[in-house]
Structure 1
Amino acid sequence: MIETALELLTNNQDLDSKMAQAVIDEMMTGQTSDIQIAAYLAALSTKGESIAEITGSARAMRQHALPITTHRPVMDIVGTGGDQSGTFNISTTTSFVVTAAGVPVAKHGNNAATSKSGAADVLSALGAKIDLQPEQVEKLLHQTDQAFLYARTYHQAMKYVAPVRHSLGIKTIFNILGPLTNPANPQTMLLGAYDKALLVPLARVLHNLGVQHALLVHGQDGLDEVSLSADTDIVELKDGQITEMTLVPEDYGFAKVPLSDLKGGTPSENAGITREILNGNCQDAKRQIVILNAGCALYAANYVDDISAGIQLAQETIDDGRAFEQLTQFIQATQEV
């Protein structure tokens, strides 16, 4: 199949979703050579990945992932990465607030690729055990309503592709597949993208994958988060309908800050920032951006009627101690499951 796909791509023709799925299936089962993988990824990147190609590729990766069963619907709070911003781990910190507020979160992530600290890095620095098997994750979700699905554990078939990706050194379709291939199959999402041009296509892909409600966000300063240093472009997917909007922090009572106020550092440094936000000691812009993102996530999860109500609930969840209690219980539970 990959030979046929390469012929189409080199003629600047799109693949349908079934062919794209079949090619990734061949890669994930070791049926393709490194040269074929490299040629395919480069050709696809040069042409530009279509919605059908991304959808089919994501379906193939989900099929090859270790499966897990969730006891009730979960959400994911995740970014594509690649924004080169050097911020602290905003979405990971946000996930504790959202879970503590009442929404189960199954976060899918990995070690850092383009930053100092990815989700896996900061969680490890916080003391969490991250390399958990499906039955352990299912138990953790049942006990704490929160889990982390370590991409290296759940997408072991990527071993056939990873060396080629590393050698190529360019962005490929796999840079955007990570947020789309959570084995927990989240029904709702807050998804950040490094490029505004990805928002609408990714929303359509999420619809194809069965996601019911999602906010896809890109800060106008380049962040793959809801930003506090600029306005944020948002695409909302809700019940199959796609709406574009702009979020202005001042409209929700937040003052814009320099991006430097949101900078992080090493996993250990970022773990300290997360603790200080969740225990209420941090009252600066880092707390505010977590509250803003948590408010958006709670709305995307259909837990509140609008973003403003989500922001209010996020503030209360930190101030009354629930967020820090969630962090403490989660870390302990990862060591015991």
Structure 2
Amino acid sequence: MINTMQAALGSGPRYESITPLLKKLARLGQTTDPIQPDEIAEALYLLLDDKLTDTQSAALLSLLHQKKKDQDTAIIGESLRCIIQPKIDEATLQQVISTRRKPEGNYLGGLCELAGTGGNATSTLASVAATASFIASPFLLVCQHGYMGANSPTPSMGNDLILASINPAPPALSNITPKNIAEVLKESNYAFLPEPNFYPTMKHANSIREGLGIRTIFDLISTLVHPIQGHIEARVIGVPNPDLGPALAEALRDTGVKKALVVSGHGSIDQISPEGGTSCWMFSDSDTAIQHFQLQPSDFGLLERPLDTVKARVRGVLEEAATLVDILQGRLLDVDPVLQFVLIHAAALLVTSGVCDTDVSEKLGGKGDVIKERGPGGQRWKEGLRRAKWSIESGEAHKILETYVRVTSQL
């Protein structure tokens, strides 16, 4: 039915009405009148095509949240279809990935991503996902995509502007388009795909979301969707509300991703917490069941740190960018809580990819013997941390940043 909607849009009046659907949503729980997932998906498609008034758009997102329909896996799955995927030369991209892939352990050499849905109860380091992704990139091909997370009244703290604020030379993010992403990955193990260049219609939803200031269905949809979804092997996704963990894991599996880890940290953060436990949901291509377990800092071989220690120095986008560079250049002490916070996220992505599941790693030079100890979920979390630390100490993580800056500036 979405295809029918796509064909019909662009003709007729500027705005269309979804009043009947809004009334059905408002009466949920009072009547037996069911709402089908495709009804929601069609309304969201109209919103993204700028065919709904701001009032009806806000009412739709608010009612979906109020009635908890933004957590329904069937609705989320159907709604993903309302996102128009960018046109990418799939054959060329696949050829580049096949040429550059470096399988190790259970990692097949595909693309990986680390991201969060936003909406944290505690404001933590905003650049953790980008920094950790650079740290994991010497071992993996990492491709992040930009989107606005929940409750983001200050979009200046998004990864796109953090990366654009790197001194002295930031990556040229505006140069990256669906037409040249293969060129980026041909030379760089890391890529960041700005949302405006790949999902321009999301701007219509984002303006409404900023005004609402609450979680909406787009927090999950925009995280789950990826411009080059078919090439993603492993994803680590954070969500602040653990009640959403199972639904998000199921939705990730439905997208076709081979391996995934969903995390919800102590303190209601969409990250792995340095203090207390982190609820995890994990699956891999060798195990179709979704495992549920708890992660502690000690599973990485680290001591607990108060959550406050990873937000004390966070002030703005320039400071976030400076922290990213400082970490990649090895300027922070091993005991620095901010460094350790980033390292556990890089370790989690490495573990989820399967790259740690090998008995010997030639890439680490004289430190080739892996830590074989397994922790929660049967995974080698300490080996993941060891690799993450090596990535910084060897200078390889910073080289990835330098390469990404150079490649994007030449597009």
**Shared fold (TM-score, shorter chain, > 0.5):** yes
Give the AA of the match of 2:277: D
Partner Cα distance (1:298, 1:321) in 2: 17
Say whether the 8 Å CA contact 2:119–2:215 is kept in structure 1. Answer: no
Larger radius of gyration: 2
Q: CA deviation at 1:5?
A: 3.5
Which residue of 166, 169, 174 maps to 2:210? 166
Q: Does 1:155 pair with 2:199?
A: yes
**Equivalent in the alignment of 1:201:** 247
Q: CA, structure 1 residues 184+15, in 2 after alignment: closer, same or farther (shift >3 Å)?
A: farther
**Equivalent in the alignment of 1:122:** 162
Say whether the 8 Å CA contact 2:171–2:405 is kept in structure 1. Answer: yes
**Equivalent in the alignment of 2:104:** none
**Equivalent in the alignment of 1:9:** 25
Say whether the 8 Å CA contact 2:249–2:262 is kept in structure 1. Answer: yes
User: How many residues in Structure 1 have an aligned counterpart in Structure 2?
Assistant: 334
Partner Cα distance (1:319, 1:114) in 2: 36
Q: CA, structure 1 residues 252+29, in 2 after alignment: closer, same or farther (shift >3 Å)?
A: closer
The answer to which of 287-296 and 32-41 deviates more is: 32-41
Say whether the 8 Å CA contact 2:37–2:74 is kept in structure 1. Answer: yes
Partner Cα distance (1:278, 1:172) in 2: 34
Q: CA deviation at 1:312?
A: 1.6
Q: Does 1:296 pair with 2:318?
A: no
Q: CA deviation at 1:298?
A: 0.9
Give the AA of the match of 2:77: T
Q: CA, structure 1 residues 162+321, in 2 after alignment: closer, same or farther (shift >3 Å)?
A: closer
**Equivalent in the alignment of 1:140:** 184
Q: TM-score, normalised by structure 1?
A: 0.91
Q: CA, structure 1 residues 140+191, in 2 after alignment: closer, same or farther (shift >3 Å)?
A: same
Give the AA of the match of 2:224: L
Q: CA deviation at 1:7?
A: 4.3
Partner Cα distance (1:317, 1:160) in 2: 39
Partner Cα distance (2:322, 2:203) in 1: 33
- SS of 2:143's partner is strand
Give the AA of the match of 1:122: I
Partner Cα distance (2:65, 2:40) in 1: 13
**Equivalent in the alignment of 2:322:** 272
Partner Cα distance (1:40, 1:111) in 2: 18
- SS of 1:214's partner is strand
The answer to which of 112-121 and 214-223 deviates more is: 112-121
Partner Cα distance (2:353, 2:36) in 1: 31
Say whether the 8 Å CA contact 1:85–1:222 is kept in structure 2. Answer: no
Q: CA deviation at 1:324?
A: 1.0
Partner Cα distance (1:301, 1:222) in 2: 25
Which residue of 115, 130, 145 maps to 1:108? 145
Q: CA deviation at 1:232?
A: 1.1
CA RMSD of aligned residues (A): 2.1
**Equivalent in the alignment of 1:332:** 406
Partner Cα distance (2:284, 2:23) in 1: 37
Give the AA of the match of 2:337: A
Q: CA deviation at 1:114?
A: 4.7
Give the AA of the match of 1:78: A
Q: Deviations over 1:30-50 (max 9, x none)?
A: 333333322221221111021
